[in-house]
Amino acid sequence: MRYLLVALLVILFGYSLALVLQNPTELPVDLLFTQVPAMRLGLLLLLTLALGIVLGLLLGVQIFRVFQTSWEIKRLRKDIDHLRKEQIQLAQQAAADAAANVRHEKTVLDIQPETQNRNPL
């Protein structure tokens, strides 16, 4: 992966150098707040390319962050729904177990006094 990145950077540097060398024409550039009297066309193309890449990456990161947050919210809502259903099932099971335990205790208490009255001796 590192070798691929290094190769890509070398190719990009070579392209930038060729762009500057192939376009030696000088021209004035108005940068809104200032004016450059003479700048090589290749350098101007290179600067606009770099500026476009940087702005595109920053915008892409922000958009991805918005999508990532949206996906995380959806995933968490699904988890909450799943946990609520699981909690309801556990509560119903605990209630059924408690009701069965109460019935079992009643039958044990009903039978217990009869066995105490019967004394084998």
Please state the pTM of the whole predicted model: 0.48
Arithmetic mean of pLDDT, 26-30: 86
Q: Could you state, in order of their start, the residue ranges of all structural domains in the chain?
A: 2-117
Cα–Cα dist 37/83, whole Å = 67
Nearest of 48, 57, 56 to residue 20 by alpha carbon: 48
Cα–Cα dist 66/69, whole Å = 5
For residue 39, the model assigns a pLDDT of 83
Length of the chain (residues): 121
Cα–Cα dist 114/30, whole Å = 107
For residue 9, the model assigns a pLDDT of 84
For residue 77, the model assigns a pLDDT of 95
Distances (CA, A) of 24 to 20, 21, 46, 56: 7, 6, 12, 27
**pLDDT tens profile 76-101:** 999 999 999 999 999 999 998 888 87
